[in-house]
Amino acid sequence: MTDPNLPEIPSSEEKRPEPSVERSKPAIEKEATGAPFGTPGWERATLERLAFASLEEQRSARRWRNFVRLAWLLAFVVLGWTIFSRSAPSSDPSAPHTAVVEIRGEIDAGRESSAETVVLAMRGALEDKGSQALVLLINSPGGSPVQAGIINDEIVRLRALHKKPVYVVVEDTCASAAYYIAAAADRIYVDKASIVGSIGVLMDGFGFTGLMEKIGVERRLMTAGSNKGFLDPFSPQSEAQRAYAQTMLNQIHQQFIAVVKKGRGTRLKETPEMFSGLFWTGQQAVEMGLADGFGTLDQVAREVVKAEDIIDYTRRENVAERLAKRFGAAVGAGAVQALRSAPPLR
- The three state secondary structure string of the chain is CCCCCCCCCCCCCCCCCCCCCCCCHHHHHHHHHCCCCCCCCHHHHHHHHHHHHHHHHHHHHHHHHHHHHHHHHHHHHHHHHHHHHHHCCCCCCCCCEEEEEEEECCECCCCCCCHHHHHHHHHHHHHCCCEEEEEEEEEECCECHHHHHHHHHHHHHHHHHHCCCEEEEEEEEEECHHHHHHCCCCEEEECCCCEEECCCCCCCCCCCHHHHHHHCCCCCCCCCCCCCCCCCCCCCCCHHHHHHHHHHHHHHHHHHHHHHHHHHHHHCCCCCCCCCCCEEEHHHHHHHCCCCEECCHHHHHHHHCCCCCEEECCCCCCHHHHHHHHHHHHHHHHHHHHHHHCCCCC
The pLDDT assigned to 255 comes to: 93
Closest by CA position to 329, among listed 110, 84, 4, 67:
110
Q: At residue 272, does pLDDT exceed 90?
A: no
| Reported confidence tier of residue 344, pLDDT bands at 50, 70, 90 | very low
High-pLDDT (> 90) share of the chain, %? 47
pLDDT, greater one: 3 or 262: 262
More confident residue, 79 or 300: 300
- C-alpha span between 236 and 239 (Å, rounded): 10
Residue that wins the pLDDT comparison between 67 and 325: 67
Q: What is the pLDDT of residues 133-164, one digit of tens each?
A: 999 999 999 999 999 999 999 999 999 999 99
Short-list 149, 206, 208, CA closest to 183: 149
Mind listing the pLDDT tens digit for each residue in 88-142? 444 455 789 999 999 999 999 988 899 999 999 999 999 999 999 999 999 999 9
Q: Which residues are CB-contacts of 210 (< 8 A; sequence separation ≥ 6)?
A: none
CA–CA gap between residue 272 and residue 150 (Å, rounded): 28
**Over the stretch 300-341, which tens digit does the pLDDT of each residue have?**
999 999 999 999 999 986 555 555 555 554 555 554 455 444
Q: Around Cβ 45, how many Cβ atoms within 10 Å?
A: 16
143: number of Cβ within 10 Å: 23
- Comparing 231 with 17, the larger pLDDT belongs to 231
pLDDT of 33 strictly over 90: no
Instruction: Give the distance between the most distant pair of CA atoms in the chain.
Output: 134
What values do phi and psi take at 133, rounded to 5?
A: -165, 165
Give the lowest-confidence range in 146-150, 189-193, 263-267, 333-337.
333-337
